[in-house]
Structures are given as structure tokens and as C-alpha cells.
Amino acid sequence: MTSEATAAAPPAGRRPGGRTHILYLLVIAAVLAGIVVGLAAPSFAVDLKPIGTGFVNLIKMMISPIIFTTIVLGIGSVTKAAKVGKVGGLALGYFLVMSTVALALGLVVGNLLEPGSGLHLTEALAKSGHAQAAAGGSESTSDFLLGIIPTTLVSALTGGQVLQTLLVALLVGFALQSLGPVGAPVLRGLEHIQALVFKVMSMIMWVAPVGAFGAMAAVVGATGVDALKSLAVIMLGFYLTCAIFVLVVLGALLRLAAGVNILQLLRYLGREFLLILSTSSSESALPRLIAKMEHLGVSRPVAGITVPAGYSFNLDGTAIYLTMSSIFIAQAMDRPLSLGEQISLLLFMVIASKGAAGVTGAGLATLAGGLQSHQPALVDGVGLIVGIDRFMSEARALTNFAGNAVATVLIGHWTKELDHARLDKVLSGELPFDESSPVAQPLPADQPGHALEPGLVKAS
């Protein structure tokens, strides 16, 4: 990572997230239409399930390429970040710990709320999934472990076996890491492949309104208002869990470690939160977060390393979403996950969720991949989440953003690259940030890192 470029600004005259807003409105309309059809014509609505299943199959098609490219490139990013020494290593260690805490919190709250219990999807609605589960129920531990090893290096990407894809991705990632400069061209090639994969994923997401309509109509038609109650419980529970994580977990850590009030920090970033709400993506506020962290008193090297790395490796809101959604689907389909399966799923999500920040549909693909690797019968239940995924995306983005802001302040404090006197003045309003400025503002002579060349760090 080098301070050589700024994050790209949106083209003039185009409002950030404009097309995303259209998709958002279409999904909402489709969900409402599915609810109406499900309540008015239950039998007909249940027959619409193949529409939702088709969309889920499109998502499943993208699981292996997304997991492979994100993990391989993620390991490459770790290597680059580690080269900056103390800051990179400390930041990556912190990201791993906090992502695990977020995943664990999602599991705890999901088990306490039991959002999918009592939904009891009919056998007709989940018939194919139950049949698949029954077929694989007699698999022994040795068969499971041997099944992780693919027949060939390439077959893991074409066979739809997520754990095989994960194994190959880890092997390839560490192999490229050990090659050093020799492996750089391969990593650059994979970056282009990843861009292609995510573009295909973005195209698939434009079918989400159709899939959401079919899935919602079928569920409401089969279960009536019980489905709406369960979906409301998981949405409210997710919002509450995100709030607890930010205000309690991150707030306590920030206060105890750096002596900073989380509410003051969040108020300082108020404009960025509004920007995220308008675009449903935390990436839209990345350059401004770097600028505001520098203005707050964090040195330019720390802000320039921590913020972009955090956007790939510190996805706290996404972590909570993945675990709570998995528990909800398992309970709704009357196949609750055991404690061992939940812990195994947590470990998988810690690895698989890295590197897909801000990519439309990547959360759904990672969720489907986790379920595919543990209980393939549950993948069909991803259709339940499609209808409400857009309603949860803002909370995910806001939590991810807050987590990265807190991480930057903490890393700056721990590396003694944070000017606490300046921080107090900024948060108290004595030294306000020029909200009209899209980039970092000039730092005083006594500000750590002031002598470095200006410029923002872009994510690798």
C-alpha cells in the first residue's frame, strides 16, 4: 500500500448510488406484492416458489468464484499490509478479533431470539432441501474430511463444493504469497477476474426483485402472517444487535483503551452516516473517512493503512448479518444448527467474509456458501432472506463504517500516532472539519505524519 492515489470520485452529475436506489425501490415493491399475493391467493403463491429458487440458484452459481478470488486476493492484501510493520500487523490482528466477536454476538442473539422458530415451512416448500439432507446424513467424519480434498485443483471451482474451494483458495493464496514478486502478475490477473465476477454478481442482483417476489409470496402463502412476524423479529433483532455492538462493545473498548466517547465520534461522522444511508454502501464514504480521521488527529500513515484494510477485513455488520441469518434460516426450516455446527459455521464465516465489502450481493453469496458447506439443505432458505436483505443492508453498512472509524482511532492510539489534544478539540467543536472538502485538510506542523506527501491511500 502506498499513498499514491485518492479513492475515485463519482462522475460529475451522477448521484452516488442512483441505480442502487432504483433496485432498492424495486425490491421493496416486489416484497410488498409478494405479501399481497401470498395473503390473497395462498395456493397460487406457493406455486411461485420456483421463481425464488431460480434466483437462489443464480446466487449459488457465484459462490465458488467469489470465495476463491476474495480469499486469494485477501491473503495477498495481508502480505502487503504486513510490510508496513507495526501498524499493519496490529490492525489485522484487531480486525480478526473484532470480526470474531461480532460473529459470536450474532450467534448469541440469534439463539436467544430464535427468530425462525415456529415458522415451520411446509414440506412442499422445502422438499428438495430435506431430500438432499437425508441423502447425506450417513456421511462419516473420515468421509467428510476426505471430501474436502478435490479431485483436481480446478474441479474445486466447478463442482460446487465450498469447502474444497476454500482449501484450494488458501493453498493458492499462500503459494502466491511465498512467490513474492514472481506471483504479483498472477495477483493482478486475479484482480481483473474478481472484477468480472463481481460485475456478473451485480447483474444477477437486478433479478433480485423477481426472486424476492417469488420467495416472499411462497413463504407468506405457506405460513400466513407467521412469516411476516418472523421476518420482523430478525430485522429488529439485527438492528438491535448492531446497536449493541457499536454502542456497548465498541463504545466500551474505545472509552477504556483511548478515553474517547463513542457518541461524540459518531456525531462527528454524522454527514458520512447520511451519505451511507443514501447509497446503502459504506464504500461511498471511504475517502471522507480517511480525511476526517486525519483531521481528528490520526497520523496519515495510520489512517491510510487502517481505513482501506478495514474495508476488506473489518466487516462487523456483515459478520452479525451472516450468523443471525444462518440461524434464522435453520430454525425456519426446522433444521436448527447444533452448537458444534454453529461454531464451525462461525470459523468458516471469519475466513469467507473477507474481501467482499461493498459488493452488491456478496453477502448473500457468502451466506449461501456457509450454509452449502455445513447443511446444503438450508441453501434453499436463502430465498427467505432475499426479501428483507435490502432492509438490512443499511444497518450492515453503518455498522461496518462505525467499526472502521473506531479501529482507526484505536490503532492510532496504540501506535502513539494519535494527537489526543487535537482529538479533544475536534470532537468538542473547537476545530470543526470543513464539510465541503472531499479530501484531507492541511495538518498543523506538530501533527504526526505532517511531513509525508499528501494523498490518500487506496485499497489494494
Q: Which residues of the chain have pLDDT under 50?
A: 1-17, 123-124, 126-139, 358, 438-460
CA-nearest of 358, 71, 119, 94 to 225 is: 119
Break the chain into its structural domains and give their ranges.
18-428
The pLDDT value recorded for residue 230 is 81
Interatomic CA distance for residues 213 and 65, integer angstroms: 27
CA distances from 34 to 29, 49, 118, 228, 389 (A): 9, 11, 21, 11, 15
- pLDDT attached to residue 3: 35
Q: Residue 77: its pLDDT value, please?
A: 64
CA angle, 407 as apex, 401 and 409 as ends, to 5°? 110
Q: Which residues contact 339 (CB under 8 A, 6 or more apart)?
A: none
- CATH number of the 18-428 domain: 1.10.3860
Specify burial of residue 43 (Cβ count, 10 A radius: 0-12, 13-18, 19+): exposed
Q: What local confidence, expressed as pLDDT, does residue 269 receive? A: 92
User: Are the C-beta atoms of 292 and 413 separated by less than 8 Å?
Assistant: no
| DSSP symbols for 299-359 | -HHHHHHHHHHHHHH--HHHHHHHHHHHHHHHHHTT-PPPHHHHHHHHHHHHHHTTT-TT-
The full length of the chain comes to 460
Bridge partners (DSSP) listed for residue 298: 418
Cell numbers for 85:
510493520
Contacts of 430 (CB under 8 A, 6+ apart): none
Give me 91's grid cell.
Answer: 490492525
The CA distance from 37 to 51, in Å, is 14
Give per-residue pLDDT as tens, 407-426: 999 999 999 989 999 999 99
DSSP bridge pairs for 418 = 298
Query: How many angstroms separate the CA atoms of 348 and 284, rounded?
Result: 28
Closest by CA position to 48, among listed 240, 287, 218: 218
Instruction: Give CA–CA dist 317/281, Å, rounded.
Output: 12
Report helix, strand or coil for 298.
strand
Structure confidence at residue 120 (pLDDT): 63
Residue 148 contacts residue 164 (beta carbons within 8 Å): yes
Tell me the C-alpha distance between 289 and 206, whole Å.
Answer: 29
Q: What is the DSSP string of 178-246?
A: HHGGGGHHHHHHHHHHHHHHHHHHHHHHTTHHHHHHHHHHHHHHHHTHHHHHHHHHHHHHHHHHHHHII
State the pLDDT at residue 439: 47
* Cα distance between residue 181 and residue 178, in whole Å: 9
Q: What pLDDT, on the 0 to 100 scale, is given for residue 454?
A: 34
Q: Are 299 and 417 a contacting pair, CB within 8 Å?
A: yes
C-alpha to C-alpha distance for 25 and 46, rounded to whole angstroms: 24
- Cβ neighbours around 184 below 10 Å, total: 12
- With contact defined as beta carbons under 8 Å apart, do 42 and 322 qualify? no
Whole-structure pTM over 0.75, yes or no? no
Give the Cα separation of 174 and 153 in Å (integer). 15
pLDDT at 81: 60
